Amino acid sequence: MRKPAPANREQSVEEAPPASERGSDIKAQLDDLLDEIDEVLETNAEDFVKSYIQKGGE
């Protein structure tokens, strides 16, 4: 038979570790890529829409 847990047990809250340098680099690269995509779509939106091919009859 197990003993019940003490009622006034201290709860420890662990802080999340800081983002790694590698993770920050990846995020910066992703942000740059998304910015580049936005720029292309702003300047070539009509071409993008015309070249878009729906697949599967959607």
Nearest-5° Cα angle at 8, 5 to 11? 90
Q: What is the mean pLDDT of the chain?
A: 76
| 27: pLDDT strictly greater than 90 | yes
Place of tokens 């201290």: 10
Residue 58 corresponds to which amino acid? E
- How far is it, in rounded angstroms, from Cα 17 to Cα 28? 19
Whole-model pTM over 0.75: no
The whole-number pLDDT of residue 4 equals 66
Q: Which range has highest mean pLDDT (4-8, 13-17, 28-32, 51-55)? A: 28-32
